[in-house]
Amino acid sequence: MKPWLIEKFRASFGRAPHWIARAPGRIEFIGNHTDYNGGPVLGAAIDRGVWVGLALRDDGQRRFASDQLSEVVALPADRMKKQAGAAAWVNYPLGVLAALPEFSLRAPAGFDYLAMSDLPVGAGLSSSAAIELASGLAFLAATAQQPSREILVKVGKHAENHFVGVPCGILDQGVSGFGKKDHLVFIDCRGPRFETVPLPGGAHFWIFNTHTKHALVDGLYAARHRECMEAAQALSVGLLVETNPAALLVAERKFSPIVFKRARHIVEEIARVSATVAALRVGDLAAVGKLLTASHRSSQMWFENSTPELDFLVTTLTSQPAVFGARLTGGGFGGAVMALTSVAFGDDEANLVAAAYAEKFGAAPDILHAQTGDGAELFTP
C-alpha cells in the first residue's frame, strides 16, 4: 500500500511524506473482555492494517486526511478538542498526541497527516488500535524519539481510554504492537507482559463480517466493564483475575444474577486462555478449536455480547468438517466471527456459509481470509 499512500499524500498535500508507519489489525483469538480484568489474552496480528504518512509543517497547523473521506480536517496545534461527525476518526491520532506528554514524550506541532487502511471497518479487527500505533510511530519518528515498544502500546491504550473514551484493556494495542508472523501474541495483562506463541502450521483464519452494529462507545462495552468491576468489588479483589471458578460459585449469592453471569464468563475465559496456550504448544488444533467455540458460547450465554447473526455463523461454521472452531472476535455486539480452519476450508466452503447467512438475514457477510503478520513498523518513504 506504500506507493498508493505516497501518491494520495501528494494529491492531498502537494508533497511526499517524510515518514511512513504501518500497524496491523488484529484478531482477538481468545480472551474475550479478559484484558481489562487483568487476565491473559491471545491475539494475532494480521497482514492488513493502517498506514500513516506524515510531513512536518512550520505554521502550527495540523491537517488530517484519510483515504475514506475527501475532506481534510485542519486544526491548530493548540486545539485538542474532540471531533464529531465525519471528522470523528481524527480523535484517534488526536488522542495519541494528547497522550504523548503523559509519558514524558513530545508531540510534533504542525504537520500534514494521511491515514489509509485495508481493514474492513466495524469487523472487530481493531482499526482503532492500528491507527493509534501507526500514528504514534510516525509522531515519534518526526520528533526523533525512540521509546520502548511497551511505551508505544501504552500510549495507544491511553489515547483510547482517555480521549476517545473506550475503557478497553491492552489487547488491541498490544497485539498490534508486538505481532509476529506465524505467531500469536500472548499478553499477561497484569504486567502487562508480552510474548509470542508459535501458531502450528496448517492453521488458517477466516473472518466473516456481518456489518451488524459494532459501536463500542455507545455504552454496551462500558456497561460490561462496570459490571466486571462490580463483581471484583463484591469478591474483595482488585480484578477478576485474582479469583477462580470455584471461589466464584461459592460467592454466587453476593451478586445480582446479571453481575454473576458477567463474572462467570470472565473467570472461565481466563482458564480457557491458559488451556489454549497449552494446546498450541503441543500443536493440538482440534483442542484449540473446541476452546474457541466454548468461548463463543460463553459470550453468548453469560456475557451477552453476541448477536443472533454471530451465533448463526458460529453454528454454521462449526458444522463444517474443516473448521476447528469459531467465535466472535472483538468487543462483540455485532461485528465479525473468526473461524480457525485447516487448509481444506477454502473459498467454496466460505461461500456456502455466506449463502446460508444471506438466506436467513438477507445480506451476505464479507469474507476475509487473513494471514498472520508483523507488528507496527516504520518504513522509508
For the beta carbon of residue 204, count every other beta carbon within 10 angstroms.
18
- pLDDT mean over 305-313: 95
Please pick, among 58, 172, 188, 284, the residue that the annotation labels catalytic: 172
pLDDT over 70 at 43, yes or no:
yes
pLDDT of residue 88: 92
Quickly state the pLDDT bin for 381 (edges 50, 70, 90): confident
- The vertex-90 CA angle with 77 and 329, nearest 5°, equals 145
Among the listed residues 379, 375, 377, 380, the one whose alpha carbon sits nearest the alpha carbon of residue 184 = 375
pLDDT over 50 at 355, yes or no:
yes
The verdict on whether 366 is a catalytic residue reads no
Write out pLDDT tens, residues 267-283: 999 999 999 999 999 99
Q: Which residues pair with 50 in a beta bridge?
A: 23, 117
106 near 145, Cβ under 8 Å?
yes
101 near 52, Cβ under 8 Å?
no
pLDDT over 90 at 212, yes or no:
no
pLDDT of residue 125: 76
Length of the chain counted residue by residue? 381
Quickly state the pLDDT bin for 222 (edges 50, 70, 90): confident
Q: For the purposes of burial, counting CB atoms within 10 Å of the CB of 71, is it exposed (0-12), middle (13-18) or buried (19 or more)? A: exposed
Q: For the purposes of burial, counting CB atoms within 10 Å of the CB of 201, is it exposed (0-12), middle (13-18) or buried (19 or more)? A: exposed
For the beta carbon of residue 321, count every other beta carbon within 10 angstroms.
9
Crossing angle of helices 308-318 and 347-361, in 10° steps, is 140
Among the listed residues 55, 180, 53, 59, the one whose alpha carbon sits nearest the alpha carbon of residue 116 = 53
Least confident segment among 68-82, 116-130, 256-270: 116-130
The alpha-helical segments, DSSP class H, found in the chain are: 2-13, 91-99, 127-142, 149-158, 171-178, 220-234, 245-250, 257-281, 285-298, 308-318, 347-361
Those residues whose C-beta lies under 8 Å from the C-beta of residue 146, and which sit 6 or more positions away, are 140
Crossing angle of helices 285-298 and 257-281, in 10° steps, is 170
Compute φ and ψ for 75, nearest 5 degrees: -135, 140
pLDDT over 70 at 215, yes or no:
no
What mean pLDDT is reported for the chain?
93
Rounded Cα distance between 56 and 215, Å, is 33
Q: Which domains does the chain have, with CATH numbers?
A: 2-199+373-379 (3.30.230.10), 204-370 (3.30.70.890)
Rounded Cα distance between 377 and 24, Å, is 9
Q: For the purposes of burial, counting CB atoms within 10 Å of the CB of 328, is it exposed (0-12), middle (13-18) or buried (19 or more)? A: buried
For the beta carbon of residue 370, count every other beta carbon within 10 angstroms.
21
73 near 90, Cβ under 8 Å?
yes
Long-range contacts of 159-163 (CB under 8 A, 24+ apart): 159/92, 159/95, 159/96, 159/98, 159/99, 159/132, 160/92, 160/95, 160/128, 160/129, 160/132, 162/95, 162/98, 162/99, 163/82, 163/91, 163/94, 163/95, 163/98, 163/99
- The vertex-22 CA angle with 92 and 106, nearest 5°, equals 55
Write out pLDDT tens, residues 85-109: 989 999 999 999 999 999 999 999 9
